[in-house]
Every structure is written in C-alpha cells, then in structure tokens.
Structure 1
C-alpha cells in the first residue's frame, strides 16, 4: 500500500505471527537482532487481519517461572496474546494517533501498536518511542513557526503602535498649528497696521527736524522757514498723534495678548511632550490635564465646553508624556462623540490609596456590544481611514503599566465616562510594610 501519511514513516514492516505458532518459537523470534527493538509481535489471521499482540513482558513472565519453557513452550501463542491491542489506521493524522494511543496507553509500556490500512488489514508495527519522537519534531517545528509568527507579530505591533503615535502626533501638530495660526494672524495684521499708522509719525518727525534745523540756522531765509513751518503743520495735521494714542494702545495690547497665547501653546506643547521626565519623577496630574487641554483645544472648542473640577492632588511618580497621551486620546474621543455642542467634564480627586481622573462627555454614548470591546486592539466604530482602533488599547496598556486601572461606563443617549485610577506610592509602601 502506498500512503503519504505521517504515520507511514513510522511503520516497521514486521512479519506477523500465526496464532498456531508455539510460545517457544515466538520467544526465540523476539530474541533475533531484527526484533530486539520491539516490545511485542503481531498475530494475524490467514486473511491478514490483526488478532492481537504478544508482548516480550508476557513471555518473560512464563519463562521466568520454574520449568516454564518446558511446561508451556509448546502451547499456541494465542493463549498469551493481548486480544485488544492498540490499533491505528495509517490514514490517521499524527496528532490524532498520538491522542488515541496516549488515551489508551498503560504504564509501564509493554507493547507496540499495530498499523492497519483502510480495509483494516495489518501493515506493520509502530513503536511509541518513534511516535513520541515524531510528535516532538512536529511540536518543535510548530514552535519554530509560532516563534517566527510571534516575532513578526511583535514587529507589526511595534509598527502599528508607532503608526498610531504618528497619527496622533499628526493630529496634535495640526491642531497646534491651527491654534498658533489664529494669534499669529492678528499679530501679523496688527504689525501691518502699526507700520501704516507709524509712517505719518515718521514724516512728522522728519518735518519737525527740518524746522528745528532752520530755526537753529541764523542764515535760514524767511522763505525756507515759512516752507518748513508749513510742512511741519501739514505733517502734524496728517499724523494727528493725539488721535493715535487709543488705537496704538489697543494694537499693542492685542499684539501682546496674541504673543502670550503663542507662548502658552509653546509651553503647553513642551509640557505635553515631556519625554525626558523619568517614571520616578513626581507629577501633579492636574498639570497634565491642563497641558492636554491646551493641545486638544482645537479639537474641542467647536464641539464642547470643557468644565474642570480639579481637586487638590498629591504628586505621584509617572511618565507624564504617556499620561498626556492617554488624556489627549480621551478628550478628542469625547469631542468626536458629541453631536452638536455639548460638555466635557474633567474631574480629579484623591483618596488614601490612589488618585482618580474622570473624563465624562455628553455625547451619544455606546451600546453594550461596543462597550464590551472598547479596549480591544483594532476595534473602532469610526469609518475606514479615520481611526486605527489602537488609541484606547494603547491607553489601557499605559495605565496598566503604571499599576493603575481604566474603566468606562456608557449608555446610549446619555454620554460616556472614563475613570482612571493611579496608585499612590505611599499607599503601596504602607501595604508592603503591613
């Protein structure tokens, strides 16, 4: 029979025994070199169907007895055979064969197993040791594949996380650029207005300087003096400096306000991306919230009013840039969940063991099926191209790495609330000492 199954490679074409053979002849055959590797020999009927196995162990029990060979050596071998041996079809997969054999195997192992074809006829013997070696090789091969797959998965995960970070960074930079453009726009306009308003003043200063030169010159002719006086009077009338005081004051105040807004955004961006801050540095989470709100202002301002209820918090060790990333994600998600104009309420408070941050929106809320998968990687309700589904998954991992918890509660039509709990270090120290 020709077969390509994995079991076929384990098959040993051992010549079967007839049930009429004597026990002594079978014992002698087991001692031959070609049969020393086997624990048993098969017994097959005239049609080629297996009847059982006679084991080396059973024969030893007979011949170890006093006069055992003389008393029972001439008896037919079917008297000592196992009529219910392990029989496996060659069509069986390696895994199924291993499951079948280990499920029926008795210890210590005293027999091999019989291999049959599709018609049930005997084709050879298989040893348990060979089967275990084949399974070990198969497992090693699959482990190698799994290790390669795990490496590929980790590389893909790193790339996806980096992609999500770059997407968030792009969104953040676009928002900050938009926020910078507004004050920069009217600062630029104010500077242009200042240039236009200051031009007549320069002309007045020039005319008055010419008049002063003429007055100081004893040789200045009356015609030249009259012209200088006339030019100074015209420049004075055109410049009207008494009317410019209010306009210039307003322009300077607006320009300074715009520059302050730009400075606030720059400081907020610097505080937001505090990558150089170590996990051991203690941070006030309220500062993180204010920084994240500055960066998220462009995403929020047209969608919701941000209401802050920030309690007094102890400083805790954390990676502020990572916490800022979580807060930015929650704030932008909250704004995107609001239809029309709503509210985003951010609240903080502290307890003996932990500090808490609550981000609650008045958006459309989520169904239970969506809520159950909200932290799953790649799960998103946004249209294709508008979200990777990694934002909340990364946020969950960041909070988990900080030893904290993040939970969500939501109801359709009533909004969503995320709650972050971060442990206080002194609470952990007290717990360890206790």
Structure 2
C-alpha cells in the first residue's frame, strides 16, 4: 500500500437522525468487521465516529437498551475523530494518527476528500502499509548503500590514481636525473673500453715483435714508442681515480633509481586489503620519495624520526595518507618554506605529525576540511577528496587525525594509529 486511498473502505455510514439500534444489527454488514468504529456523516460531511466498544458498553449496561435506544447517535459519537485527507502521504497520515490517537485504540480514522467523506481507514492497515513501505525503503537503502560503498571505493582509487598522476612528472624527473649520468658514465666507459682495446692491441703487437726472430730493434723500438704514447693518452683521458669515481657514481645512480621504483611500486599497490606490520617511518620515507619533485621546490623537509613499534595497517593506504598531507603542506606554502615531520610513540599509539609554515586555514573552514569535494584550492587544482579520503583511511584503521592551524603561521596534522590493531 502506497497511498491512503488503498487503506480506506467506504461503508454505509449511520446518519445522525438514526436511533441507536441493536449492536448486532450495526455490524451485520461484513465490511464493518474491519473497523473498530463507524462514521457518522451528514450531507457528505463527516461529523464523528461511534465505536463498537462504546455501543457494546451502552447495551451491556443494565437497562441500556431501554434508556438509550431512542436517543440520537449524536449524543454518543466522538465529535473529534481522527480525520486524514486523501491527499496526505502515508508518512503524514501515520504522524497525524500517532500524535492524536487515544490508547487503548477503540476507533479507526475517517478519510476525507476535499473535506467530504470518502471512507474509513483501519489503523492496523495503516501500520501494515507503513511496515511494507519501511521494508521497501530499507531494501532501497541497502541497495543505495552498496552503490555508495562501490562509489566510495572508486573515488578512493580515482583519487589515488590522480595523486599518482600528479607525481608522474616528478617521479620521471627523479629517475631521469640519475639515469642521465648513469647513461653518460656508460658512454664514457664504452669509449674507455674502445681505447683500452686499442692499447691492448698495441701490447700484443709489441709482444709479437719481441717473439719474432726477424724483428729488428728499430721495429721493436718504434712499436714500444707507439705503445708508450697510447698509454700516456689513456692515462690522461681516463685516469684511474676518475674511472673509479665513474663506477661509484653509476652504482649510486642505479641504487637511486631502484629506490624510486620500489617506493613507487609499494605506493601504487592495488591490493588495498593487504595488511602488514610496518614501520611508519618507512611509509613517510616512501611518500617523501614519491612526492619529492613537488616538495623540494616548495620547502625544506626536516625529519625528526623517533624509534617506532611496528603497526598493523595497509601500507598502500597509509602511504597515500602521508603523500596527501605532505603535498598539501607544500602547496600551502607561498614561496619557499619548511615542512617538519615528527614521529613518536606512546603506550597505545604511533603518532606522525606533519607541520608546515604555510598560509594556514581560517577557523571557519577547519570544520569542513574533511567534507567530500570541499577545497580551498582554485578550480582545476584540487578535487576536494584528498583530506576526506585521508580521514576515512585513518578512521578505518581505528586511528585519529587532528589538525591545528593558524592563519599566516601554518598548519599541523597529527595522524595517530593504534599499535595493537586487528584488521580484517
């Protein structure tokens, strides 16, 4: 049942000029058995109701039939019945009935259409109709909730991919720098190898002349002089110290590239359900590596890392939390400033504080910073999902996030994650 019309049944009403008759006669019509009361209508306008229980009380009283039988119904009816308009919703009708019904329930309600009598409605039917509506609404809510969860998961992943997209250019730059000098060093090694091959050939030629019975001293002397010149040129162009430095620099550059690739891989893992016991210092370092190109042009990063117990968490999600906080801190700084990262632990929590000396957040906006799609950044520079997702991730891990900010002096975020936490 979705509307009032489906709840009501029109019954032949008693008229005010009718006399109260035998209770059995009143309820002879089977339709009347659905209701606890009957309407009293005059010229199509409802005047009141008379309840079955009231009629029974009259006729069960001693000499009730003789005393009340000739009196008009208007003396016994309820002149303030429950009246519901046909154009009211089920919810409005339910609220009206709930607010005005008298307990114990002895009467049902009258339904009117434009002020005129339309029929009688049963309170029980109204409750059943509302129950069916409630079941239907609950099913709709469950479906909407499932869609919301799917949408939320997609938003989280979209924001994560957007964050990665913003970092791609920076990561490429960070890789290209060591890759550039590794490549250059390898070209120098290749040239040195060619010269070394030429020098080695000169040695072979000299040894060949020295072993040949027909070789003259002049030939040997000439080859020796040529070899000596090649050795001097090689030593001048490719000194031993420079070659050792060349290899050291190349190995260092390869280690840098490896570190960036490993951190990028760890950060971008799609297995969000994966849980591990991790050192949050490592998560911060991973986020700093991914966001380095954005941060280094905006701020000096000061690390104040404490010794931390390992925390059970999803590293991929926690990496995203720290990356968002660090890049937000960098973007909040006008000119060149400072970002201080402090990590510490107490008996229950590990705390990571990210503090910047940027613009700060006005007090009236602090309460809204975690709202989805709320952003103070210019159009096109922020989705307004970053801090909302950060808040959700921290909450899902049983943690807390706090913020303190002062306009013109900067902002500090503190992420606290429980040390003992079982994630499903």
TM-score by length of 1: 0.87
Tell me the number of residue pairs that the alignment of Structure 1 and Structure 2 aligns.
420
Question: Which residue of structure 2 lines up, in the alignment, with residue 431 of structure 1?
Answer: none
- Does the 8 Å CA contact 1:365/1:414 hold for their aligned counterparts? yes
When residues 402 and 91 of structure 1 are mapped into structure 2, their CA distance, relative to the original with a 3 A threshold, is: closer
The question of 1:95 aligning with 2:78 is answered no
Using the alignment, how far apart are the partners of 1:352 and 1:34 within structure 2? 72
Using the alignment, how far apart are the partners of 1:89 and 1:354 within structure 2? 59
The question of 1:358 aligning with 2:342 is answered no
When residues 355 and 123 of structure 1 are mapped into structure 2, their CA distance, relative to the original with a 3 A threshold, is: closer
- Does the 8 Å CA contact 1:303/1:341 hold for their aligned counterparts? yes
Using the alignment, how far apart are the partners of 2:218 and 2:344 within structure 1? 82
- Does the 8 Å CA contact 1:405/1:420 hold for their aligned counterparts? yes
Using the alignment, how far apart are the partners of 1:242 and 1:154 within structure 2? 65
Question: Which residue of structure 2 lines up, in the alignment, with residue 30 of structure 1?
Answer: 27
Question: Which residue of structure 2 lines up, in the alignment, with residue 61 of structure 1?
Answer: 57
Question: Which residue of structure 1 lines up, in the alignment, with residue 145 of structure 2?
Answer: 150
Aligned residue runs from structure 1 range 23-422, under 5 A: 23-24=20-21, 28-45=25-42, 47-118=43-114, 120-220=115-215, 224-225=219-220, 228-229=223-224, 231-236=226-231, 238-241=233-236, 244-269=239-264, 279=275, 281=277, 283-422=278-417
Using the alignment, how far apart are the partners of 2:111 and 2:255 within structure 1? 87
When residues 44 and 177 of structure 1 are mapped into structure 2, their CA distance, relative to the original with a 3 A threshold, is: same
- Per the alignment, in what secondary structure is the counterpart of residue 21 of structure 2? helix
CA RMSD after TM alignment: 2.9
Using the alignment, how far apart are the partners of 1:411 and 1:295 within structure 2? 28
- Per the alignment, in what secondary structure is the counterpart of residue 371 of structure 2? coil
- Does the 8 Å CA contact 1:272/1:321 hold for their aligned counterparts? yes
Using the alignment, how far apart are the partners of 1:394 and 1:112 within structure 2? 52
Deviation of the 1:223 alpha carbon? 6.9
Deviation of the 1:415 alpha carbon? 1.1
Give unmatched runs, 5+ long, in structure 1: 429-434
- Does the 8 Å CA contact 1:20/1:76 hold for their aligned counterparts? yes
Give unmatched runs, 5+ long, in structure 2: none
TM-score by length of 2: 0.88
Question: Which residue of structure 1 lines up, in the alignment, with residue 6 of structure 2?
Answer: 9
- Does the 8 Å CA contact 1:172/1:295 hold for their aligned counterparts? yes
